[in-house]
Amino acid sequence: MLSKFLPNEHVKSIFDIHPSTLTEKGIKGIITDLDNTLVAWDVADATPEVIQWFKLMKEHDIQITIISNNNLDRVKVFSEPLGTPFVYSARKPLRRAFNKVRKQMKLKKEEIVVIGDQVLTDVLGGNIAGFYTILVVPIVKSDGRITRINRKIERRILNYFRNKGKISWEE
Ligand SMILES: [Mg+2]
């Protein structure tokens, strides 16, 4: 059960995720979180770097869909200029939104990677739905209220894995 909280990979930021390493793994689709994964939770629009990253993935025929627990306004304002499909109020870690996107992408589970900054929503949800999961370091330390509570639990889970020698990265 606890292994569902463990990501397959951990990187500093999305910019450490390159299309070639994904395609080598047979990955054809990315399901990514928005807040603190692509931009800080209080930043409305994609940065030039994020726009470039999306473009790069598209050039390598890797589909991207944003799945966020945040509301329609937030997710739409961010996603539409990128021309990327999105799901808002996704209720991660529930698997429903993940499965919906997998069907829309017309891909197999093994062909999709889930990227996010939270263990309790992104990693857990991605693992439950059967995808490869990559945890990124949150862009900013501050969070909304619910996330702050999640972070406390997350820290305990990560410390557990660290003590067991299952993860090697530092906080
Ligand atoms: Mg997030």
If you measure from the C-alpha of residue 147 to the centroid of ligand 1, how many angstroms do you get, rounded to a whole number? 8
If you measure from the C-alpha of residue 33 to the centroid of ligand 1, how many angstroms do you get, rounded to a whole number? 6
CB 120 within 8 A of CB 4: no
First to last CA, the chain: 23
For the four alpha carbons of 166, 141, 116 and 67, in that order, the dihedral sign comes to positive
Helix (H, G, I), strand (E, B), or coil: what is residue 53? helix
The one-digit pLDDT tens for each residue of the chain (171 residues) are 789 999 999 999 999 999 999 999 999 999 999 999 999 999 999 999 999 999 999 999 999 999 999 999 999 999 999 999 999 999 999 999 999 999 999 999 999 999 999 999 999 999 999 999 999 999 998 777 777 888 889 999 999 999 988 888 766
Alpha carbon distance 77, 95 (integer Å) = 24
* DSSP 8-state symbol, 27: -
If you measure from the C-alpha of residue 87 to the centroid of ligand 1, how many angstroms do you get, rounded to a whole number? 14
Cα of 9 vs its chain's centroid, Å = 12
Q: Which two tokens stand for residue 40?
A: 């800080």
Helix (H, G, I), strand (E, B), or coil: what is residue 130? coil
Give φ, ψ of 133 to 5 degrees.
Answer: -120, 140
If you measure from the C-alpha of residue 100 to the centroid of ligand 1, how many angstroms do you get, rounded to a whole number? 19
If you measure from the C-alpha of residue 35 to the centroid of ligand 1, how many angstroms do you get, rounded to a whole number? 4
Q: What is the pLDDT of residue 148?
A: 82
If you measure from the C-alpha of residue 108 to the centroid of ligand 1, how many angstroms do you get, rounded to a whole number? 24
If you measure from the C-alpha of residue 123 to the centroid of ligand 1, how many angstroms do you get, rounded to a whole number? 10
If you measure from the C-alpha of residue 19 to the centroid of ligand 1, how many angstroms do you get, rounded to a whole number? 21
The residues facing 146 across adjacent strands are none
If you measure from the C-alpha of residue 14 to the centroid of ligand 1, how many angstroms do you get, rounded to a whole number? 12
If you measure from the C-alpha of residue 118 to the centroid of ligand 1, how many angstroms do you get, rounded to a whole number? 6
* DSSP 8-state symbol, 68: -
If you measure from the C-alpha of residue 119 to the centroid of ligand 1, how many angstroms do you get, rounded to a whole number? 9
